[in-house]
Chains A and B, each alone.
Chain A
Amino acid sequence: MPASAGSRKRGRLRSKLGVPDPLRRRWRAVPAPLRRPVLPVLVLVLAVLYPYYRGHLFKIPVLGTFPAMNTAVIMTVFAMMAVGLNIVVGYAGLLDLGYVAFYAMGAYTAAWFASPQFAAHNFTFGAVGVSPGVPGFHVSIWLLLILAGVFTAFVGVLIGLPTLRLRGDYLAIVTLGFGEIMPQIAKNGDNLFGTGFNLTGGPQGITPIDPPGFGSWIHRHVNALPDNYIAATNFDKLFFWTGLGLLLITVFCAVRLRDSRLGRAWVAIREDEIAAAAMGVPLMRTKTWAYATGAFFGGVAGCFYASYKTATFPDDFFFNISVFILCMVILGGMGNVWGVIVGACFLAYLDTEGIGNIGGWINEHFSGDSPKWAHVWASPIDIAKYSFGIYGMIILIVMLFRPQGLIPSARRQREFEEGVHDEPLYDASA
């Protein structure tokens, strides 16, 4: 489809929306620097105030109530990871099927330095909410968020150095391999190579992990900042706002990076690697940066999530999570931060609450409980069981009909419509 057809279609769509012309014209007249941030700021305000008006919202048909606070926290965590993965997949065009490894690394960083895991040592630095007499390293979660990011980025570089010169599907497979090895190391890490050294707690995982908090001194002076999150009565709100703050930082970095020299180099590599190299873009360094940046945010998100969950287990990091995050990026629109956030929030909600609610609704109306349908659909079906089949369906349908995603980046859309200088799968004439 030529590019002009796409813009024509969009024009038609816009005229259908029914915004009166004079209003639109006046809105256009507002200078762009003022106009552009309106929508993001509005969304941000709505998000920050969400805990207050959540209880007063209407019920969505089929889906039921709006996401609970627990779900909202998970949504921010996955949005963070999706934005991170978007840097690798969306910006630089490198398919990473092992993103879960970075998430795991971040979670274990939190677990090592903020739990009783290394009971032989006793070291406390700014940690809160640690019961007296509990041994082990206890470093403030705020510091660990940064440490986890840096450590994960470092591992990302280590993995990236030998593998990033591979292209496309081979890279995907190698990252998949790392994604499979990492949980196994976590699982066998309670007695690493028979040395008796307990690194990861093995199948028992590491628990409990300290909560974030501001300490009693700050709490005494600024009452709104709690001593430690878990002891506070509104801990879910606190975690939600913290997650939102982290997400905000992530988005800020992602957007700034996209518009930077490095970001343009990523796009250049994605569109035509050979041309980019010919133009003097250092391929390996640029790719490694993409990998490290993506890994950084995965690590931060993992660390925060581990602290929220108060534990980390090797079973949390299996391959499907990587695909799940990838699905968010694809659904939202590869390369577009806003689209990716929408995709992440939607899928994270679907996974934690939505599918269960839909299943409940379907069974309520069509299964044996409702006499009208009893003869057709005798036994209720468990929709949640098929969640990954549903995600597969989402990937398939999006790739076939709207490969640019729900909210595409303009540039990505053109690539999908006009093709890129990448070898297509097979180019036979039909």
Chain B
Amino acid sequence: MVAEARRPPFTWLSGRSLPSVVPLIGLLLVLLVLVWLGINLYKTPADFFTVLLFGLTNGAVYGLIALGYTLVYGILELINFAHGDVFMMGGMITATFVTSVFSLHDYPSATSLWPAVLVTLAVAMAGCALLNATVERIAYRPLRHAPRLAPLLTAIAMSFIIQNIGLAWKGPAYVSTPPVLSRGTIFSLGGVTYTWNKLIVLLITVPVLLGLVWLVQRTRQGKAMRAAAQDRDAAAMMGINVNRTISFTFLIAGALAGAAGLLYVLYFTNIRFDSGFQIGLIAFTAAVLGGIGNLTGAVLGAVLIGLIQAFNEGLSWHAPGSSWTQSIVFSILILILVFRPEGLLGEQTPEGA
């Protein structure tokens, strides 16, 4: 990538003094949030930790989706808008299997639950991987030499198309599934209870993250991915089949979306044709927050977003409340993009130079 000689921002506005003020404002904001959290913790400790657990679990689910965004962005520098909708299709597949194929009821026994979950997981991952690779083949690959806006537009187009396929398939109402993950208590401490369904979410997300990191860092295919991300021409010269590497990345991202769809439906027990777009935006925000292109950052960002959401809705001392959740998430997105485009863990990117 060409390093760009560009004038620092805001020079025509107020000279060079502004950039040094920016981190200060950011620090102040973070400090304010921490103080607010501290007061809430002091006032209602039990509720604080209950909400914290909710946020952690929600964040872990978002994290699986965010990984898909960050994987694709890392290699193509393309925001795959359709990713959220691929995730939605994974959820729809899961809902179909849970209710129609296996006809599970509330809290089934482990022997009937886990085989069903494994089969569904395999189908959802395979289906979404194929769907995602097809999206890449149809909508992104033919536009490789086009200006950068072109694939972004086709990504939005694919997002709408997949949403409508979901709408045609399941109709406009929420698809609801029975709660199948056990809500049995693991431990209960001072009014704070931790339940099995929350642990299961973490037990899926953490190994997936570790596996993905291993795949990208340690395997041959991962090396090819990193090479293609760094410099496609050079990678091609070194004998890496860039097209295949990109397809592989989309397959992996799609499989992640499928797994996320399964987890989402099992944990939250409902989904709608447009859920993917909304949650996709949240997950994308998480990926940007953590540093887009950075796998660990995506999960970290997702957990942070999950916590912010939960604290905003669940705490009672001066919390803006759930009618402002969307605005808060998007404000974070805008602030991060404007002030620290490289995110929390990312490297400096030319976009924010």
Binding site for B on A (CB under 8 A): 93, 95, 97, 161-163, 165-170, 172-174, 176-178, 180-181, 184-185, 187-188, 274, 277, 282-285, 323, 326, 330, 385-386, 388-389, 391-396, 399-400, 403, 415-416, 419-420, 422-430
> In the docked arrangement, what's the CA distance between A429 and B239, Å?
11
Known A396-B139, A426-B144; 7 more pairs at CB < 8 Å: A172-B149, A177-B334, A386-B164, A389-B167, A393-B161, A403-B150, A428-B228
> In the docked arrangement, what's the CA distance between A429 and B79, Å?
22
Binding site for A on B (CB under 8 A): 1-2, 4-7, 9-10, 12-13, 76-79, 138-140, 142-154, 156-161, 163-165, 167-168, 172, 228, 232-233, 235-236, 242-243, 246, 281, 284, 288, 323-324, 326-327, 330-331, 333-334, 337-338, 341, 350-352
Please tell me if the beta carbons of A181 and B164 are within 8 angstroms of each other in the complex.
Answer: no
Contact of B153 among A165, A330, A393 (CB under 8 A): A330
Contact of A393 among B77, B150, B157, B233 (CB under 8 A): B157
**In the complex, what residues of B have CB within 8 A of residue A415's CB?**
147
**In the complex, what residues of B have CB within 8 A of residue A427's CB?**
144-145, 232-233
Contact of A396 among B157, B233, B246 (CB under 8 A): B157
**In the complex, what residues of A have CB within 8 A of residue B6's CB?**
274, 277
Please tell me if the beta carbons of B351 and A95 are within 8 angstroms of each other in the complex.
Answer: no
Min CB gap B28→A, angstroms: 17
Please tell me if the beta carbons of B161 and A174 are within 8 angstroms of each other in the complex.
Answer: no
With contact pairs A168-B351, A174-B338, A285-B12 given, residues A426 and B167 touching in the complex (Cβ less than 8 Å): no
Please tell me if the beta carbons of B351 and A166 are within 8 angstroms of each other in the complex.
Answer: yes
Please tell me if the beta carbons of A400 and B5 are within 8 angstroms of each other in the complex.
Answer: no
Please tell me if the beta carbons of A168 and B149 are within 8 angstroms of each other in the complex.
Answer: yes
Chain B: CB-nearest residue to A330: B153
**In the complex, what residues of A have CB within 8 A of residue B243's CB?**
428, 430
Chain A: CB-nearest residue to B240: A428
Please tell me if the beta carbons of A424 and B146 are within 8 angstroms of each other in the complex.
Answer: yes
**In the complex, what residues of B have CB within 8 A of residue A174's CB?**
333-334, 337-338
Q: Name 5 interchain pairs, CB-CB below 8 A, sorted by A.
A: A166-B341, A168-B152, A389-B165, A399-B157, A416-B146
**In the complex, what residues of A have CB within 8 A of residue B327's CB?**
180-181, 184-185
**In the complex, what residues of A have CB within 8 A of residue B147's CB?**
93, 415-416, 419-420, 422, 424
> In the docked arrangement, what's the CA distance between A282 and B10, Å?
12
Please tell me if the beta carbons of A274 and B4 are within 8 angstroms of each other in the complex.
Answer: yes
Interface majority SS (helix, strand, loop, mixed), chain A = helix
> In the docked arrangement, what's the CA distance between A326 and B330, Å?
21
**In the complex, what residues of A have CB within 8 A of residue B246's CB?**
426, 428
Please tell me if the beta carbons of A428 and B144 are within 8 angstroms of each other in the complex.
Answer: yes
> In the docked arrangement, what's the CA distance between A430 and B242, Å?
8
Please tell me if the beta carbons of B330 and A399 are within 8 angstroms of each other in the complex.
Answer: no
Contact of A187 among B164, B168, B323 (CB under 8 A): B323
Please tell me if the beta carbons of A400 and B143 are within 8 angstroms of each other in the complex.
Answer: yes
With contact pairs A169-B152, A389-B163 given, residues A425 and B140 touching in the complex (Cβ less than 8 Å): yes
**In the complex, what residues of B have CB within 8 A of residue A169's CB?**
77-79, 148-149, 152, 351
> In the docked arrangement, what's the CA distance between A61 and B201, Å?
55
User: What are the 9 A-B residue pairs with the smallest beta carbon separation, nearest first?
Assistant: A389-B164, A392-B160, A428-B242, A395-B157, A177-B330, A396-B157, A392-B157, A392-B161, A165-B9
**In the complex, what residues of A have CB within 8 A of residue B76's CB?**
425-426
Chain A: CB-nearest residue to B171: A385
Please tell me if the beta carbons of A173 and B333 are within 8 angstroms of each other in the complex.
Answer: yes
**In the complex, what residues of A have CB within 8 A of residue B341's CB?**
166, 170
Min CB gap B47→A, angstroms: 21
Chain A: CB-nearest residue to B166: A389
Chain A: CB-nearest residue to B326: A184
Please tell me if the beta carbons of B152 and A424 are within 8 angstroms of each other in the complex.
Answer: no
> In the docked arrangement, what's the CA distance between A367 and B160, Å?
26
Min CB gap A405→B, angstroms: 12
Chain B: CB-nearest residue to A395: B157
